[in-house]
Amino acid sequence: SLPTLAVVGATGAVGTVMCELLSARKNVWGEIRLLASARSAGRVVRCRGEELVVQELTEDAFDGVDVAMFDVPDEVSARWAPVAVRRGAIAVDNSGAFRMDRDVPLVVPEINPEQVRNRPKGIIANANCTTLAMIVAVAPLHREYGLRELVISSYQAVSGAGQAGVDALHTQLTKIAGDRVLGSRTGDVRQAVGDELGPFPAPLALNVVPWAGSAADGGWSSEEMKMRNESRKILGLPDLKVSATCVRVPVVTGHSIAVHAVFATEVAAEGAREVLRNAPGVIIVDDPAAGEFPMPIDAVGTDPSWVGRIRRALDDPRALDFFVTGDNLRKGAALNTAQIAELLSKELTR
Ligand code: 2RA
């Protein structure tokens, strides 16, 4: 019989996309159990053609569960993933709670699927959405040319901060709509937006905010540290040089990253295109003359990382510059988790 799946955080921004994916992808699950906080328990959610009543997250809720996906904040995963494991499930965690734990593999199925079996704690981690969008393009280039350094800037959508982030942007846009002078004078957007900042430190409407996550040492943000540490772990390059600047932009869904990648050997744009053409999870959209570049408005709701603006650096024949956009709720979160869980389903149904 097919394994039982629990989705913890089923009513959140990522959980909602997870239910869509479970409805659309090949069915590899027996029972699907949706779990959430007491606040959301009792809600009815359509998943895989069934009307499922969301159950409260409790210890007993994991009884009989084979695979438990966690789409919840770090502290909720930190507390509940070990509970699921104690109750006999394998946990696939989409939070940051376990990613850098040496006994927890950080799996991207296109890159290191073999790592799912290396799970001494019974927990498998899913990478951060910004890392994921980028790494599916960087990994095949690394295999071909030998990666030495990444200098990256992100353009992150508000849904990365959950439904509260989406709500904040829409509220702000509604508040400022129609004022054609707004943005011309210092402070006018701040004043118009008022205290409707949602989970962000500054207004997103008509703005870009060079900050995502919390403060880390040395002036870096947690999001920038994640890009560095997770890229190193996924690629198996503990000394990879990474400098990231993470920026929030007024986009609902779709994280983008401008990448300057330095390799051990010389690269050519056409050679890199050929590598990326054959890379799983990547689609090349690179015809600037025709107005074709990777952009959130096109990538949203799709599975692959869209890669374009591929060009060799003018001043270093070993460096490549390119732009990536990926749906942060799909490959960046729900899709990668679903792909990991599907590998487990295969293992368990054997
Ligand atoms: C963000 N990457 O975009 C984070 C969410 N995990 O806010």
Q: Which of 84, 21, 85 is nearest to 57 (CA)?
A: 84
pLDDT bin (cut points 50, 70, 90) of residue 347 is very high
Pairing of strands 319-326, 255-263: antiparallel
What angle separates helix 13-24 from helix 335-349, to the nearest 10 degrees?
A: 50
Q: Which of 60, 54, 66 is nearest to 29 (CA)?
A: 66
Q: Is 212 in the pocket of ligand 1 (CB under 6 A)?
A: yes
The mean pLDDT of 327-338, rounded to a whole number, is 96
What angle separates helix 129-145 from helix 269-277, to the nearest 10 degrees?
A: 110
Q: Count of CB atoms within 10 A of residue 133's CB?
A: 30
Q: What is the ipTM of this complex?
A: 0.95
d(CA 180, CA 326): 31
pLDDT of residue 107 exceeding 90? yes
User: Which residues lie below 8 Å from residue 121, measured CB to CB, with a gap of 6+?
Assistant: 82, 85, 98, 101, 103, 104
Residue with tokens 């772990």: 233
How big, in percent rounded to 5, are the helix, strand and coil portions of the chain?
35, 25, 40
d(CA 255, CA 299): 9
CB 18 within 8 A of CB 7: yes
**pLDDT over 70, % of the chain:** 100
Q: Is 134 in the pocket of ligand 1 (CB under 6 A)?
A: no
Q: E-assigned strands of 1-122?
A: 5-8, 32-36, 44-47, 50-53, 55-56, 67-70, 90-93
pLDDT of residue 257 exceeding 90? yes
What is the rounded average pLDDT for all residues in the chain?
97
- Best mutation site among 223, 251, 256 for ligand 1, i.e. most ligand atoms within 8 A of its Cβ? 223
Which candidate in 19, 47, 129, 246 is catalytic?
A: 129
d(CA 145, CA 138): 10
pLDDT confidence of residue 126: 97
Instruction: Render pLDDT for 215-241 as a digit per residue (tens, 0 to 9).
Output: 999 999 999 999 999 999 999 999 999
d(CA 211, CA 223): 8
pLDDT confidence of residue 325: 98
Collapsing DSSP states into helix, strand and coil, what is residue 323? strand
CB 296 within 8 A of CB 254: yes
d(CA 286, CA 281): 16
- Identity of the amino acid at 287: D
Instruction: Render pLDDT for 163-190 as a digit per residue (tens, 0 to 9).
Output: 999 999 999 999 999 999 999 999 999 9
d(CA 54, CA 37): 9
Q: Is 95 in the pocket of ligand 1 (CB under 6 A)?
A: no
Collapsing DSSP states into helix, strand and coil, what is residue 56? strand
Instruction: Render pLDDT for 7-43 as a digit per residue (tens, 0 to 9).
Output: 999 999 999 999 999 999 999 999 999 999 999 999 9
Residue with tokens 């699950």: 29
The size of the chain, in residues, is 350
pLDDT confidence of residue 98: 98
Instruction: Render pLDDT for 49-99 as a digit per residue (tens, 0 to 9).
Output: 999 999 999 999 999 999 999 999 999 999 999 999 999 999 999 999 999
Q: Residue 28, CB half-sphere, CA atoms under 13 Å: how many?
A: 18
Which candidate in 19, 142, 246, 255 is catalytic?
A: 255
pLDDT of residue 350 exceeding 90? no
DSSP 112-164: -GGGGG--TTSEEE---HHHHHHHHHHHHHHHHH-EEEEEEEEEE-GGGG-HH
Residue with tokens 């703005």: 207
Concerning whether 255 is annotated as a catalytic residue, the answer is yes
Terminal alpha carbon distance of the chain: 10
Domains of the chain: 5-126+333-349 (3.40.50.720), 131-328 (3.30.360.10)
Rg (CA), the chain: 21
Q: DSSP character for 109?
A: T
Ligand 1 atom nearest to 165, measured from its CA = 7
Concerning whether 246 is annotated as a catalytic residue, the answer is no
Q: Is 254 in the pocket of ligand 1 (CB under 6 A)?
A: no
pLDDT of residue 295 exceeding 90? yes
pLDDT of residue 338 exceeding 90? yes
